Amino acid sequence: MEKFFQQGQEDQLVVAFHGTGGNEYQLLSTIAALYPDASVLSYLGTYGSGEERRFFAPLVEGKLDRNDFERRVADFLENEWNDIEKKSKIIFIGYSNGANFILGLLEKRPQLADTVILLHPSNFVYQFEATDVSADIIVTSGAQDRISLPGEVLALSQQLEQAFPHVHFLLLDGEHTVNHDEIDRLKQYLNNQQSKS
């Protein structure tokens, strides 16, 4: 997979996955706002190109092409995981299609990261096993989001709660986009979590 790497000053690594039609630079400003001193490893989706670029095949009648999805998840874990150097803290962040891809990774490897930020994911049929993994999982949705419907994303967060002890659902006023309000709310939440530890 093509990727972008930027060395940071702290012993943190943010691993990023863009949304449909995005690229490996799409989430850099969001990451800079949330983790300004971290190293960044951002991946480019391998399916399609331009506005159709994504991490797995498009839906078929509203459902995942499970064979393609699981093959691409397995391929990432087999070929890319060793490139993710173990820092003192690993953060996974994905937007839309990239967030859905991270959910596939969590199905196979729940101990993926210390923090997982899922920006506007979709509630496809995922299977998570109950775990005592201490990862902090943050799930966002917009009240006006017509792609990742807020009620369905809330149901997804509740499903995640059955498997992961620390899940936080963040509902915003916006649409299917990451705006300044969402970044500010995420910063506030992350700062509060840091002050507790």
pTM, entire model:
0.95
Residue keyed to tokens 């994504």: 54
pLDDT in tens, 48-76: 988 899 999 998 888 899 999 999 999 99
The distance in angstroms from the start CA to the end CA of the chain is: 35
Long-range contacts of 135-138 (CB under 8 A, 24+ apart): 135/110, 135/111, 135/164, 135/166, 136/166, 136/168, 136/193, 137/164, 137/166, 137/167, 137/168, 138/167, 138/168, 138/170, 138/186, 138/189
pLDDT in tens, 132-168: 788 899 999 999 999 999 999 999 999 999 999 899 9
pLDDT in tens, 1-11: 899 999 999 88
pLDDT at residue 85 is higher than 70: no
